[in-house]
Structure 1
Amino acid sequence: MSPWLPAGLRPLSCLLLSLASLAGAPAAAQGFSAYVTPPRFELQIQPGQRLREVVEIQHAGNRTGRFRIHTADWTFLPDNSVMFNDSLLPGSCRPWVAIERREISVEPGARFRYRFEIEVPPDTPPGECRFALMIEGIEPARLDGTLNFPVSGRIGVIVYAAVGGAKPRLSLTPAGVRPFNGQPVPVITVRNDGAAHGRLLGFLDARDASGRRFELAPADIPVLPGDSRTVPLLPVVEEGATPPALTYPLQVTGQLESGTERLRVDQRFAP
Structure 2
Amino acid sequence: MASLRDLRRRIRDVGKIKQITRAMQFVAASKLKRAQDATLNARPYAEAIDEVLADVAAVLSGEDHPLLGTPEKGKRLIVLFTSDRGLAGPFNTNTIRFVARAITEHQGDLAVVAVGRKGRDALRRARVPIEAYFDGFGDRPSFADVVPLARLVTDDYRSGGYERIDLVYSQFVSTLVQRPALEQLLPVKPSEDTKGIPGNQFIFEPSPSAVLEQLLPRYVAQRLFQAVLESKASEESSRMVAMRNATDNADDLIDDYTLEYNKVRQTSITREMIEIATGAQAR
TM-score, normalised relative to structure 2: 0.23
Higher RCO (Cα < 8 Å, 6 or more apart): 2
Structure with the bigger percentage of helix? 2
Q: Whose strand fraction is larger, Structure 1's or Structure 2's?
A: 1
**Normalising by structure 1, what TM-score?**
0.24
Rg: which structure is higher? 2
